[in-house]
Amino acid sequence: MFMARLVSAASPYFQSNNEKGIKMTAHDHEVVSIYGHSEEQKHELMTRAPECVLMWATKDGWPVGVVHAFVWRDDKIWITFSSHRHRAAAIRRDNRVSVTVSGAASQDPKCPRGAVTVKGKGTFHDDDETKKWFYRALAKKVSPDSKQGEDDFYNLLNSPLRTILEVVPEKWISFDAEKSAKDRAGLLSDDEKTPPLSSDVDRMKKERERRGMEPRNPNDQ
């Protein structure tokens, strides 16, 4: 599914450059950390995308993820669920979580393509002040064109067992599908690429050595 969306995003570039006789410059899809979003794009994606996947670990080590509507405010991710859910106990036990947000879930044409994954720590809030602003913000996001729908969703959220999770980002893993498509079409300049992460430098080098392969420059696609 992901590769299908990638090809779909790239097809306008491929078609345009095929007509011009320009060849693709990227020859595989192993080095991807050079296609990161800008800070502005990250903010736009976090603001405009409707959903995220919240991920945590159970006490026996299983990774689990659940789709949530969310709010991006003050450079933090805000999510809500009932406090009797397993995820509440798991995150209270170990507050290290990850959150993935994909532009593919958005119908907003201004939403950047691609996805980000955030690693961070969660903090729970049960105070009335936080509930008041967050429930209203989430209700507006879920029902932007209907005040009645907004009010109905606000009232639905305002229940006694519901809690709010604040996630403070500590690390970003970002993939801009538009940049990847442009690179494959020969249209992405080196200035537009982001510095490669350690996975595409140190870990790739070790894996190639383990397989008896020559080293590879991650910026040489």
Q: Are 165 and 124 in contact (CB under 8 A)?
A: yes
User: Do residues 22 and 48 both lie within one domain?
Assistant: no
Q: What is the mean pLDDT of residues 55-80?
A: 97
- Give CA torsion, residues 95, 200, 197, 69, to 10 deg: -50
Contact 164, 131 (CB under 8 A): yes
Count of C-beta atoms within a 10 Å radius of residue 69: 14
Which CATH number do you get for residue 113? 2.30.110.10
User: Bridge partners of 67?
Assistant: 53
Whether 210 is in a domain gets the answer no
Q: Domain residues for 160? A: 37-175
Of the spans 24-38, 109-123, 194-208, which averages the highest pLDDT?
Answer: 109-123
Pair 3, 112 in one domain: no
pLDDT in tens, 157-194: 999 999 999 999 999 999 999 999 999 888 999 999 99
Domain identity same for 138 and 124: yes
3-state secondary structure string across 122-178: EEEECCHHHHHHHHHHHHHHHCCCCHHHHHHHHHHHCCCCEEEEEEEEEEEEEECHH
Does residue 72 sit in helix, strand or coil?
Answer: strand
* Residue of 39, 38, 28 lying closest to 6 (CA atoms): 28
Say how many domains are in the chain: 2
89 and 74 in a common domain? yes
Q: What is the mean pLDDT of residues 84-107?
A: 97
Per-residue confidence at 218, pLDDT binned at 50, 70, 90?
A: confident
Q: What's the pLDDT band for 6 if we cut at 50, 70, 90? A: very low
Give yes or no for a contact between 182 and 188, defined as CB atoms under 8 angstroms apart: yes
Q: Is 212 inside a domain boundary?
A: no
